[in-house]
Amino acid sequence: MSVEEIEILRDRSEKFLKNARHLYETGIYDLAAFNIQQSVELYLKYRLFLLAGDYPKTHSIKKLLRELGKIAGKTEDVEKFMKENIDRISNLENAYITSRYIPSEFEKVEIENMLDVAEKIRKLVDEL
């Protein structure tokens, strides 16, 4: 994968997050949830590629975070972060499936929590 292709991951991550915020503001919470999940997933894959030259082919935020922690030598920091935010991370992971395939609705506060944890994840991985 070229540098330009890797930068596309980061750019798409930013666009998904921007779109998520717009969807949140317009009350379209199911698609906001999906966009937040995609933003986080792509950003984690971007950072993994920068550090390791590849990334796992998974949609699991938990697996991507753990892999990033392992590669960065910060397993304990990542595990601590995950323990403190496990409900929000799990909700974010579930958004991938439920917003696409299962008729379900998200509450405004859930999207606020997802946006919050997305920012926390980005900060965490930027500091690794």
Give the domain CATH number at 71. 1.20.120.330
How far is Cα of residue 37 from the mean position of the Cα atoms in its chain? 5
Give the C-alpha distances (Å, rounded to integers) separating 22 from 5, 9, 40, 72, 121.
Answer: 26, 20, 16, 33, 20
pLDDT on residue 120: 98
Residue 127 CA to residue 122 CA, distance in Å, equals 9
Alpha helices in 56-107 (DSSP H): 61-72, 75-101
User: Within 13 A of 43's CA, how many CA atoms are on the CB side?
Assistant: 22
pLDDT on residue 33: 96
Residue 25 CA to residue 53 CA, distance in Å, equals 36
- The three-class DSSP label of residue 105 is coil
Range of the domain at 88: 3-127
pLDDT on residue 100: 74
Cα-Cα end-to-end distance for the chain: 22
pLDDT on residue 4: 85
Compute mean pLDDT per 10 residues along the chain, 128 residues long, and list them.
86 98 97 97 97 94 98 98 98 88 88 98 96
Domains of the chain: total: 1
